[in-house]
Structures are given as C-alpha cells and as structure tokens.
Amino acid sequence: MARPPAARIAIVHHSGYGHTARQAEAVRAGVEQVRGAEALLLTTDEAQRRWEELNAAQAIIFGAPTYVGAGSASFKAFQEASSSAIMARGYLWKDKIAAGFTNSGSRSGDKLSTLLQMALFAAQHGMHWVSLDLPPANCSSTGSEEDLNRLGFWLGAAAQSNVDQGPDLAPPEADLATARHLGRRVATVALQFTLGREPAMAALAG
Ligand SMILES: Cc1cc2nc3c(=O)[nH]c(=O)nc-3n(C[C@H](O)[C@H](O)[C@H](O)COP(=O)(O)O)c2cc1C
C-alpha cells in the first residue's frame, strides 16, 4: 500500500493571462519530483475557499505576476483575506515553510518588489522563508539564456515572458526549470522540518 505523503506543499498563485500559471505548474512538477512530498495547486480565488487545506499544509509557495511593480491585485486580495482568516484566528501558519515566485514582461520589471512583498507576508505570518539556492547566472562571457536562474534572483524564482507571446511560448524553459528547482527545494526543506520536528521537540523537553 502506498504511504501517505510526509509533507504537503500548497502552491497559491494568480495569473491574469496564463504565463505565471505555467510557472506555477513547473513549481508543482518540482515538488512532485521529491519522494514523500505532495503538491496542492490553488489559484488565489480557490485558496480563499479552502483555508483548512492550506492550514494542513507543511509549506505554502506564493506566486503572482508582477503588475505595476508589485504582486497583482488578486494576489493582494488573497493576502488581505488571510488577515482575518488566518492571523486573527491565532497565527495558524506560524512555523510553516514559505517561498515565492513571480513572472513579468521585463527582465527586471521590478520583480524584486513582488518577492519582497511575499517574504514580508510570510514574516507577518511567522513563517520560515526559503530562498532560491542557485547562483545568479547569465552574468559572464560563458553564461547563456538557457542557464538556471538566468535572471539572477536569490529571494525566489523569477521568470520573464515576452509580452507579444502567449503562455504556450513564454516563459522560456530556463525559467520553468528554475521554478521546478524551487519546488524541489521547498519540498525537501519541508520534509526536513516535518520529519525533524518531533525529535527536536523531544530534545528540547530534555
Ligand atoms: C496591469 C499590468 C501591469 C504590468 N506591470 C508590469 C511591471 O511592472 N513590470 C513588468 O516587467 N511587466 C509588467 N506587466 C507585464 C506582465 O507582468 C506580463 O505580461 C506577465 O507575463 C503576465 O503574467 P500573467 O499572464 O500570469 O498575468 C504588466 C502587465 C499588466 C497587465
């Protein structure tokens, strides 16, 4: 009989035109590459009807397109809804793992602002933020657009979608691979936390 997953990783995202949804699918694929981890992919609208499932997850990965130098309005609505649904009910996400990803039209496009918004959101919930453990790439004479983390972010996974291309073509494979990497990393860290929590508490209790 198959064993139940040791860690469930929720991915809560918004995508106005489908590009960030492709990035979210890649994060999900990365999570599912890790044995013992299971992914739950939700839009920001769905998430606001399924708080209990988010509360039961060991990690939540946030995703949004960068619109006007910040996370999209739908993502912000989800953030604000969590204030009464989660914080006011006793900081129900405290000590969960958190991470984030964003996508935009420009290479920079002020995506860092969106990742900072997500990291602050996680901090307000008392969550543990997981960074992208990839060196910045495509920044030397031997670098290329095919490199993992070609856009050079540390705080989370970034993607860039040409504004004249649909989600069938953008973001490119390098950015989807970077998103898969983030999914794998968060699933691994969530498993480390989940499996280590009990012995850690026993050690603390003496
Ligand atoms: C209202 C609006 C604001 C945008 N602002 C930015 C921006 O600040 N920086 C940027 O690089 N791209 C910006 N874009 C481009 C989107 O980030 C880009 O098209 C992205 O791929 C859309 O993702 P989605 O299909 O998941 O909605 C903006 C697009 C819209 C519709």
Q: Whose CA is nearest to atom 17 of ligand 1?
A: 104
Res 154: pLDDT: 98
Please report the DSSP string for 113-145 in residue order: HHHHHHHHHHHHTT-EE--------S-STT--T
Position 206 confidence tier, pLDDT thresholds 50, 70, 90: confident
**Is 0.90 exceeded by the ipTM?**
yes
| Contact (CB, 8 A) for 19 and 161 | yes
Q: Whose CA is nearest to atom 31 of ligand 1?
A: 67
Assign domain 7-205 to its CATH superfamily: Flavodoxin domain (3.40.50.360)
Selection from 8, 7, 21 nearest residue 50 by Cα: 8
What is the distance between the alpha carbons of residues 60 and 130, in angstroms, rounded to a whole number? 10
pLDDT tens track for 111-128: 999 999 999 999 999 999
Q: What is the whole-number distance in angstroms between the Cα of residue 115 and the centre of ligand 1? A: 14
What is the distance between the alpha carbons of residues 75 and 118, in angstroms, rounded to a whole number? 10
